[in-house]
Amino acid sequence: MSSVLFLSLIDFNSINERNIYTDLLREFIKYGHKVCIISPVERRKNGRTYVIEKDGCKILKLRIGNIQKTNIIEKGISTLAVEPEFIAGIKKYFSDTKFDLVLYATPPITFCKVIEFVKKRDKAKSYLLLKDIFPQNAVDIGLMSKKGLKAPLYKFFRSKEKNLYRISDRIGCMSTANVEYVLRHNPEVKKRNAEAIWKRGKGIVEECPNCIEPIDMSLSSEEKISIREKYNIPTDKIVFVYGGNLGKPQGIDFLLKCLHSQQKNDKVFFLIVGSGTEYGRIEKYIEKYRPMNIRLRQWLPKDEYDKVVAACDVGMIFLDHRFTIPNFPSRLLSYMQAKLPVLAVTDPNTDFGNVVTGIDKKGRKIHEPFGWWCESNRVSAFKVLIEKIEKNKTSQYGFTGYSFLLENYKSKDAYSIIMEIKNN
């Protein structure tokens, strides 16, 4: 029986929680692997280091400094301290376990020394789940710069990124555009990839999309009405829901422009559920304009959130138009589980819109559509899609999206992709 170590900065206490990582790790347990996880607890929660052994896995809740919801200085110091803290935790709590595979995801990109330690100690293979291309994403939205005073910070993190790619035996990307981007912008990786293809016919960079253990979260008409009444959501309008992070990557400026364009549209209603650095801006907009067809809610517990999403008609996803990296938001999966069609408003560099519309960048049909797409820089294009959705029935797109989920985004498929590392 092989042993797997998963490194994360996500705070979770049970393998039975539902997200793209726990769903994947349950597949490893299902197929007989011993799974160990490091999931830290930040100092601000007044916690201590402890171990949870339950449901076939061992979770090390490692006390670390504050990284989330803190000032930039404390966040920077805590982030740099993570590597020695993780190594110390492995030495103390996993000294008797020889790992065959170390699995980790971006963000962060600061696990290099931890991965190298496990690889050297145990002769383990390493697999990177590339969920975020940092620091370029920070450059795209103006948080970093390749020139001027911020340049040294960019160069520091870029060197960390290159090192992470170097020590990863395989790199799993979320989509085709992600694979192409990594190879195009990282000559060293491209060379290794070409060598791997020459030796065994398969590269080290591959598609390993966001996956979940699918659950049919759709509701009956009666259940939808009941949920809408509970949360004071209109039952006689087309309800568009935006759920998830409300930060700079989501292009909140453009989201507000789009919502403003629909202020007088009494046929539609917009529900925004989430949290993030830009939450206050949306709150101020609503206080100023008092729109009748927009409601903002703080983040809900996952079970409640899933029900609210399923009671809506269309799921929305926004991305800042400045992005040059191909993001692929995982919140798509919650919409697909609820059988909601998807309205994607993104930059043109991601292939997210191609997947939703079923049309590739050359205009060729690749599969049945389960939503609509427009660029996140033209309000007029957004208005056209809203009008189109108003005039057409959308339920079939939702069923198509659910079928696409079952065919392409199951955790066991991601597990199979990752486990090919043993055969190569």
Tell me: do 176 and 30 sit in the same domain.
Answer: yes
216 in a structural domain: no
Tell me: do 61 and 102 sit in the same domain.
Answer: yes
Q: Residue 11: which domain range?
A: 3-211+411-423
**Which residues, in sequence order, are bridge partners of residue 273?**
243, 297
DSSP 291: -
What domain count does the chain have? 2
Tell me: do 362 and 401 sit in the same domain.
Answer: yes
Tell me: do 193 and 240 sit in the same domain.
Answer: no
pLDDT band at 78 (very low <50, low <70, confident <90, very high): low
Tell me: do 111 and 230 sit in the same domain.
Answer: no
Q: What percent of the chain has pLDDT over 90?
A: 70
The answer to whether the pTM exceeds 0.95 is no
CATH number of residue 49's parent domain: 3.40.50.2000
How far apart, in whole angstroms, are the C-alpha atoms of residue 319 and residue 249? 6
Taking residue 130's Cβ as centre, other Cβ atoms within 10 Å add up to: 21
Tell me: do 186 and 79 sit in the same domain.
Answer: yes
Burial class of residue 54 in the structure, from the number of CB atoms within 10 Å of its CB (0-12 exposed, 13-18 middle, 19+ buried): exposed
How far apart, in whole angstroms, are the C-alpha atoms of residue 168 and residue 326? 20
Contact 379, 253 (CB under 8 A): no
15 in a structural domain: yes
Model confidence pLDDT, tens digit, residues 41-71? 877 666 788 899 988 899 999 887 666 665 6
Model confidence pLDDT, tens digit, residues 129-178? 999 999 899 898 888 889 988 889 899 999 999 999 999 999 999 999 99
Q: Which of 360, 339, 363 is nearest to 350 (CA)?
A: 360
Model confidence pLDDT, tens digit, residues 231-246? 999 999 999 999 888 8
How far apart, in whole angstroms, are the C-alpha atoms of residue 26 and residue 51? 18
How far apart, in whole angstroms, are the C-alpha atoms of residue 227 and residue 99? 46
